[in-house]
Chain A
């Protein structure tokens, strides 16, 4: 069964790889100088179980092809979920014609061929077990996870438990002779809960997300954590508006790093749309801070042998002991900034590989114990992130701490600050880094943030 499924995918990859190569040749015959064709193919499964009944189940194959052509340094792109050769050739013809309407862009172009990319097998991205997992097993996992949580009498409603998995391949060919692919899988198990009566509801949840099925946290662990995270928010109090130390739980450090990623992405830099413009080599954070982008960590969600332009991924130190060392670039941004691509091309833009804050030595408990009076930030809602200024303003939920003890939950507050200032105010870094998402970090303690309440 496994073998058969894998052979099917391998055969499909072969077909799609020759389709991509053929399109590259076709583009060249039309007079385009540079051509890039990428295809994503795969199979997705998801099931949602709510109050111990299946709510919905989706199962499908997906395919998507995108192409970029450059003629006289003028760029046109196209993409399609219709993979018939006739449609794709038509799109290619129109793209070549359309390119004439764009302006010359001296920076445009495919990456210069470099060293070969690492063997995808060495990165452990594909789990054959996911490909052959019976739907019944996946549904059972969702049922079991929710069942454990519902047994807790404090849980008053459920948004449901979900299991999702995907297996597929990414195929890329270009007119500089690159032709490659890699296969990848992922799976996730998640649960979202409510506690309290209708007019005093609180909600939260938990999840596990991995490339390998065996690495997924078991239902008990996810359910227990989801229940704990939800019920600890019950009976919140309001607090006065004040400036206080704030501890970020790992899920909160993750969005802070996601925002940092936007601010170090080459596109933001050459647009001067980041507060970190012109700051390479400068000290922008406390010396405890080291931030890395690494596409080569075996088995992690953000790992891949090459980026969406075929540039091999690598390990890039973005912030080294507080000093900004590198911006993260695709080929275009790198040329604009007179730097090298860091293997971060994603679609037409720039995306993270595994982008993380290097952990410290303290346990989260030790960090909380060090807090004399302040807030643990556990959940945020809303958008308020401005890369141009670094300003942050979000709705927040937290736990109030005095003398190292958690006293009560806090809600209807906002946090406001500036990423540039926060980076210089990170006092403590936890040891609890887990790669559940491709952008991630451990618990951190920030010396001071404005928390608005009453």
Chain B
């Protein structure tokens, strides 16, 4: 049972009255999302701790669902009268005043804990956080004399959430999050390049003390910047592409994950809407979205609608097997909840979102996969991507290598790859045994809402994909 004195002004009885106000004009369902978020940040650049920051985000969002319509209102004051006013505003979406039964609120236990932490962000003093930042900074700067600029940013969050709904649910959680990143600029002979590295997740500071020495982050950022100084422009055109394990998970996020979010499918805008049970990709492809991986950025004990999440098998042997559901879509599609209703903060209503999405491991060693390519590219680090509901998607690599005669050769610079998702899923011809996850720093944006996510994949070979380089 999680106690949160931030919401202490609102008793279960108050919440019940707010839900009654929310359904006073009719409607099928109402919920209250209460949030108190405490954020701390440290920035180091130009050899000094430049600034520290602290942010408080608090508020209540009230949603009313009437048929397929959503009414939403919020307030940044955690008190009964303001919340009730917001509820009355949200209520106007419905227009058939009839008695709506509100079940008495019963506090539900959170069954699992996916936040493995010994030292919570609020138990670790700011001066110790600053020491970690300085260590990353120094490791990066001293890595090579060509490193001319370093920026290190540390941000940590504790988010208290509580959800109450008209079906009688009351549930609460405290979610931790840490993100530690480093940007390095290397300069040589008038040429400059930038490298990036980072890590984090729903973890405590013990992670850096016991498992992941922070100097590695600084060194990795420096290495990428230095490597890019030697890099050539990537080639342009269609060619085989080998995706490195881990970072390349952005492929599965863009090419598959988004378009299996239930809202795009109930609206029939996604290319997958009529393909449940159909084979859309190579038999080697098995894709899972799992919000229950301990410590990962995309994990949570309960989603932002209070549902306790489950892993979802999205694609099995190339066949579409599931969608990511929130309450609204699951009700309309008559499919079970999966616990993927997420929101950026109290100012937003939930949408079906990914959590930690990955392609499962296969049988080949990474060496076998690289060896099978005569001429192509090896995509190693990524900076993001985008997809349309039509299935066209891109992702951009920040660094990689040429593959020539089965060997990794010259490093290559930034390139954008584009394809049609179902073509690319079919073109996956080898899947490695080396499943890894991308650094725990990723954020996904949908309809203006940003949520933390992660993704992963083993080494993969795509027979043919368009690479946007130079002639």
Contacts and interface: CB of A to CB of B under 8 A. Distances in A.
Contacts of B237: 241, 452-454
A102 B55 contact: no
A103 B48 CA distance: 6
Interface string A350-384: 00000000000000000000000000000001111
Contacts of A157: 267-269
A131 interface: no
Contact of B392 (A81, A94, A242, A381): A381
B54 interface: yes
Contact of B386 (A82, A83, A91, A395): A395
B28 interface: no
B467 interface: yes
**Chain B binding site: helix, strand, loop or mixed by DSSP?**
strand
A56 interface: yes
A415 B52 contact: no
A286 interface: no
A57 interface: yes
A454 B466 CA distance: 7
Interface string B398-426: 00000000000000011111111010000
Question: What size tier do the contact residues of chain A reach?
Answer: 35 or more
Contacts of B92: 57, 135
A201 B396 contact: no
Contacts of B130: 101
Contacts of A135: 92
Given A271-B151, A381-B388, A83 B185 contact: no
A383 B386 contact: yes
Which of A95, A103, A242, A415 has the most C-beta atoms of chain B within 10 angstroms of its own C-beta?
A: A103
B388 A393 contact: no
A62 interface: yes
Nearest to B391: A201
A273 B393 CA distance: 28
Contact of B70 (A57, A79, A272, A411): A57
A423 interface: no
22 contacts: A56-B71, A56-B93, A57-B71, A58-B73, A59-B89, A75-B50, A77-B53, A98-B54, A102-B48, A103-B50, A105-B48, A157-B268, A159-B269, A271-B149, A272-B149, A273-B194, A381-B388, A413-B418, A414-B466, A450-B468, A453-B237, A454-B237
B384 interface: yes
Contact of A393 (B49, B76, B415): B415
Contact of B396 (A76, A95, A382): A382
Contacts of A95: 54
B271 A201 contact: yes
Nearest to A275: B192
Interface in A75-110: 75-83, 87, 91, 94-95, 98-99, 101-105
A194 interface: yes
B390 interface: yes
A275 B390 CA distance: 35
Contacts of A414: 236, 394, 415-418, 466-468
Contacts of B72: 56-60
Contacts of A58: 72-74, 349
Contacts of B73: 58-60
A394 B469 CA distance: 10
B392 A395 contact: yes
A386 B418 contact: no
Contacts of A412: 392, 418-420, 466
Given A75-B50, A194-B269, A82 B391 contact: no
A202 B470 CA distance: 27
A345 B148 CA distance: 26
A34 interface: no
A259 B122 CA distance: 38
B109 interface: no
Contacts of A63: 76
A94 B394 contact: no
B93 A198 contact: no
Contacts of B185: 271-273, 388
Interface of B: 45, 48-59, 68-78, 86, 89-90, 92-93, 126-127, 130, 148-149, 151, 185, 187, 192-194, 236-238, 267-269, 271, 273-274, 347, 349, 383-396, 413-420, 422, 466-471
A241 B236 contact: yes
A393 B415 CA distance: 6
A76 B466 contact: no
A450 B274 CA distance: 37
**Chain A binding site: helix, strand, loop or mixed by DSSP?**
strand
A53 interface: yes
B385 to A, nearest CB: 6
B390 A202 contact: yes
A449 to B, nearest CB: 10
Contacts of A450: 236, 468-471
B149 A273 contact: yes
A393 B414 contact: yes
Given A272-B185, A381-B388, A416 B52 contact: no
B93 A199 contact: no
A183 interface: no
Given A55-B69, A159-B269, A391-B414, A76 B51 contact: yes
B392 to A, nearest CB: 6
B70 A56 contact: yes
Which of B55, B394, B416, B470 has the most C-beta atoms of chain A within 10 angstroms of its own C-beta?
A: B416
A80 B72 CA distance: 22
Contacts of B415: 384, 393, 414, 416
What 10 A-B pairs have minimum CB-CB distances, sorted nearest first? A414-B468, A395-B394, A382-B394, A103-B48, A201-B390, A452-B236, A56-B70, A241-B237, A393-B416, A395-B418
Given A60-B75, A101-B126, A383-B396, A388 B193 contact: yes
A237 interface: no
Nearest to B346: A81
Interface string A417-428: 000000000000
A2 interface: no
B466 A382 contact: no
A243 interface: yes
Contacts of B268: 157, 198
